[in-house]
Structure 1
C-alpha cells in the first residue's frame, strides 16, 4: 500500500470529522462496554460492586493513559516522517516505539500487581468494596501489554491517515468484551471477577486486529535492530515521558476526585462511578479530538503547510462546539433514564442530575485543552502539554473541589472540576495558537535567510 501524506491534501474539516468520528466510535465502544459492566453489576443489587469498579477504574485509567502516551509518540514520529516523505524512517520508528511500549508496559505490570490493594486503600476503598476492587484489578492489569500493543498499532495507522482501521482495534475489543460480559458475569456467576476476565480477553483481541492492519495491510514495521532502537530511544522518550505525565494527570485528577468523594459515602462514589462511565460514551468524540488533530498537524508540519495547520485548529474548534451542544442537550434530556437504568439511590440520582444539567457543558472548554495538547505533543513541545494537564489536575482540581464542596456538598466536587476545565481550556488554547504562530514566523525567517546573498556566500 502506498504511503502518501494524504492529510496534507483536501478539506481539513473533513479530515478532523473523519479522524474524530472513527476514533470516537472505537473509544465509545470500549467505554460503552465499561458502562454495560456497571449496568450488569448494578443488577446484582450490590452497591459495593459498582463502587469497587469505580475505584478500580481510577487505577486502570492510569495504565490506559500510559499506553495512550506511547501511542502519541508513535503517531507524532511516524506522521512527521510520512509528511517529509521518509518512509523507511517511519517504519523504523514504528517498530522501535512498539518495542519501547512492550518493555515499558511489562515493567509497569511487574511493579503494580503486588501493590494493588495498598493503592486502592489509599484512595479510599474499604471493606468488601476493597476486596472486590482488588480482585478485579489483579486480573485486568495483566492485560496492560496487550492494550499497549493495540494502542500503538492504532496510533501508527492514524499517523498514516487510516482512521478506519485504527478504529477497528478498539471497536473489535469492545465488541468482544460486550459479548463475553454477560457470559462471565451471569452465566458463570463470577460477578466482578467475571467482568475483569471478559475485559482481559478483549484486550488480547486488540493485539490481533492492530497487528493485521500495521503488518499485513500497511507493512509498516521494519526489522528490529538494537542499535537503531537505542538511536530512536531518545526521540521516543522526549515525547513519551511528557506525554505520559500529561495523560497521568487526568487519572490523577480522577483519583483526587474519588478520594474526596469517598468522604460523602458510597452513594456519592457510586454516582461518580456512573458519571465516569457516561462521560467517555457521551463525549467520546471530544476525547478522540486530540488523537484526530495530532496526525493532521504532524503530516502538515512535516510538509511545511502552516496554512493547513491553522485551518485544522479552526476546524477542530467548530467540530467540538457543534458536537458538545448536541450531546449536552441529549444528555440533559436523558438524565431521568440514566437514573432509572442504573437503579440510582436518591443521593446518587441527585449528583447524576446535577452533572447532566449544569456540568456537562464544560466539556467544550475541555476540548480546547485537548486541541492544545495535540498541538504541543505533535509539534515538538510535549512538556507544555504536561504543564497544562498537571495544572488542571492539581491547582485546577483539588482546591476548587474542596472550596465548592464546602458550600455545595458533593455537587461542589463536580462543579469545581468544571470551573478548572474552563480556566485551563481557554489558557491552553491561547498558548497553542501562539506557538503555531511562533513556528511559522521562525520558518519564514529561515526561508528569508536562505535566499539572502550573504547567507548563500557563507554556505
Structure 2
C-alpha cells in the first residue's frame, strides 16, 4: 500500500477532505453532507421560484416554466455528466499527487466548457420552439415557454462552468464550497425573483432573468474558488488550453454519465405518460410522491458522488484495499440512511403527505405508492453506489449500458408490452423496485467479473 504523494501538503486545507487517509466512514460522511446540503438548497429555491411564478404570474406562466422543464433537465444532466468526468480524473490525479495533471484536466475541462457552451447557445436558441412543439406544449403557453427557455439558455456557459468547476472542487475533497455557492445563488435567485416579478412586473421574462442571474453568480463564485486552490493547480486564465488526450479522457467518462442522465429523464416521460392515462387522483398521487421522494433521493445521490470521489482518490493513491473498503462503507451507509428515512416516511406518512395535499383519496393512493417503493429504496442506494464506484474507477460506459438497458429500457418495454398489467397506480409503482433489482444484479455481476481490472483482487 502506497501513501498518496503530497498528502502532507493537503492536510492544511480546512475545506478539503482527503479520502485517502483517516477514518474512512467519517471522511465519507463529512464529504457527503455538503453535497446533500447543496441538493437541499437547489430543491428549496427551485420550489420558491415556482411559487413566485405560480402565485404572482398565474397558472399559465407556471405551466410555461414546467413545459420547459424537460429541456432544462436534459441539458443539466448532460453537463453534470461532463462535470463527473472531470471530477473522476482530477480525483485520480489528486490522490496520486500528480498536481500538473490536476492542472491540465481542470484547464482543459473549463476551456471545453467555455467553447462548447458558447457554440451551443445560438443553436439551442434557434431550435427551442421546435423542441417545445415536439414536447406537445399547448399553443396558449408556447410563446411564454419559448421566451423562458431562450433566456435560460443565455446562461448555458454559466451552467457548464459551474458544473465543471464544482466537479474539480469536489474531486480535491472540497464539497463545502460548491454548496455555499449554490446557497448564495439560491438566496439571490429568490430576491431577484421578488424584484423582477413583483416590483418590476417583468412577468415570465423576470423569472427567467432571475434564474440567469443566480446561475451566473454561482459560476463566478466557483471560478473564484478555483483561483484560491493550491498554487500548483489553481485556475489561471492563461492556462486555458484544449489538451486533446485529456479531453478524450474527460469525454470517455463524462459523455456516458451525461447520456445516462438524459435517457433516465426521457424514460420518465414514458412512465408519466402511463400515469397520465390513469386519472386525476393517480396523477396527483404520483406528483406528491415525487416531491416526497426527493428527501430519499438526495442523500443517495450525495453518497454516490462521495463513492465516486473516494474510489478515484484511493485508486490514484494505489491503495486498492482502501478502495474496496470505501465501496463497502458507502453501501452500508446507503442502506442504513435509506432504511431509516423510509421507516420515518411510512410511520409519519399522514402528516408528511398532508403537507402537500388535503385530498384523502390522493393521500391514500400516495401512501400505497410509498409502501411499495419506500422499503425498496435501499436497492436504489446500492445501485447508485455501485454504478458511481465503477465510474470512479474510470469505467463509465459499462454502468451506463447496464442502467440504460435494465433501468430505463425495462420500464419502457414493460409499459408498452403490458399496458393492462400496469393499469393501476400501485402496479406502475412496482416498476421501480423491479428495475432496481435487475440493475443491481447486473452491476454486481460486472463487479465480480471485472473486480481485478477495477481495483485489484482482494489480498485474503
Select 1:148's aligned residue among 136, 156, 160. Answer: 160
Select 1:88's aligned residue among 94, 100, 118. Answer: 100
- Structure 2 CA distance for aligned equivalents of residues 188 and 309 of structure 1: 54
8 Å CA contact retained: 1:24, 1:284:
yes
- Structure 2 CA distance for aligned equivalents of residues 441 and 216 of structure 1: 36
Q: Does 1:256 align with 2:256?
A: no
Matches within 5 A, 1:29-428: 29-41=41-53, 43=55, 50-128=62-140, 130-189=142-201, 193-219=205-231, 220-221=234-235, 224=238, 229-264=243-278, 272=286, 275-332=289-346, 335-336=349-350, 340-342=354-356, 352-402=366-416, 403=418, 406-428=421-443
SS at 1:356's partner residue?
Answer: helix
Higher mean alpha-carbon deviation, 100-109 vs 218-227, is at 218-227
- Structure 1 CA distance for aligned equivalents of residues 399 and 257 of structure 2: 7
- Structure 1 CA distance for aligned equivalents of residues 38 and 105 of structure 2: 24
Q: Deviations over 1:311-359 (max 9, x none)?
A: 1111111111122123223434565556555457677656544443432
Distance 1:321 1:130, change over 3 A: farther
8 Å CA contact retained: 1:71, 1:154:
yes
Distance 1:40 1:228, change over 3 A: closer
Q: Deviations over 1:283-326 (max 9, x none)?
A: 21111122111121111101111111111111111111122123
Aligned-pair CA distance for 1:29: 0.8
Q: Deviations over 1:110-151 (max 9, x none)?
A: 332233333333334324454554443232232222111111
Q: Does 1:8 align with 2:20?
A: yes
8 Å CA contact retained: 2:155, 2:212:
yes
SS at 1:237's partner residue?
Answer: helix
SS at 1:6's partner residue?
Answer: coil
Distance 1:42 1:225, change over 3 A: closer
Aligned-pair CA distance for 1:235: 1.8
TM-score (norm 1): 0.84
- Structure 1 CA distance for aligned equivalents of residues 206 and 406 of structure 2: 35
Aligned residue-pair number = 444
8 Å CA contact retained: 1:372, 1:428:
yes
Query: Equivalent residue for 1:457?
Result: none
Higher mean alpha-carbon deviation, 225-234 vs 44-53, is at 44-53
SS at 1:380's partner residue?
Answer: coil
- Structure 2 CA distance for aligned equivalents of residues 192 and 274 of structure 1: 25
SS at 1:67's partner residue?
Answer: helix
- Structure 2 CA distance for aligned equivalents of residues 331 and 189 of structure 1: 40
Higher mean alpha-carbon deviation, 100-109 vs 346-355, is at 346-355
Question: Which protein has the bigger helix share?
Answer: 1
- Structure 1 CA distance for aligned equivalents of residues 136 and 365 of structure 2: 19
Distance 1:59 1:405, change over 3 A: farther
Higher mean alpha-carbon deviation, 394-403 vs 268-277, is at 268-277
SS at 1:8's partner residue?
Answer: coil
Higher mean alpha-carbon deviation, 252-261 vs 140-149, is at 252-261
Aligned-pair CA distance for 1:64: 1.0
SS at 1:396's partner residue?
Answer: helix
Higher mean alpha-carbon deviation, 64-73 vs 431-440, is at 431-440
- Structure 2 CA distance for aligned equivalents of residues 354 and 49 of structure 1: 32
Aligned-pair CA distance for 1:363: 3.0
8 Å CA contact retained: 1:291, 1:374:
yes
Aligned-pair CA distance for 1:214: 1.1
Unaligned runs of 5+ in 2: 1-7, 12-16
Higher mean alpha-carbon deviation, 5-14 vs 25-34, is at 5-14
- Structure 2 CA distance for aligned equivalents of residues 368 and 212 of structure 1: 35
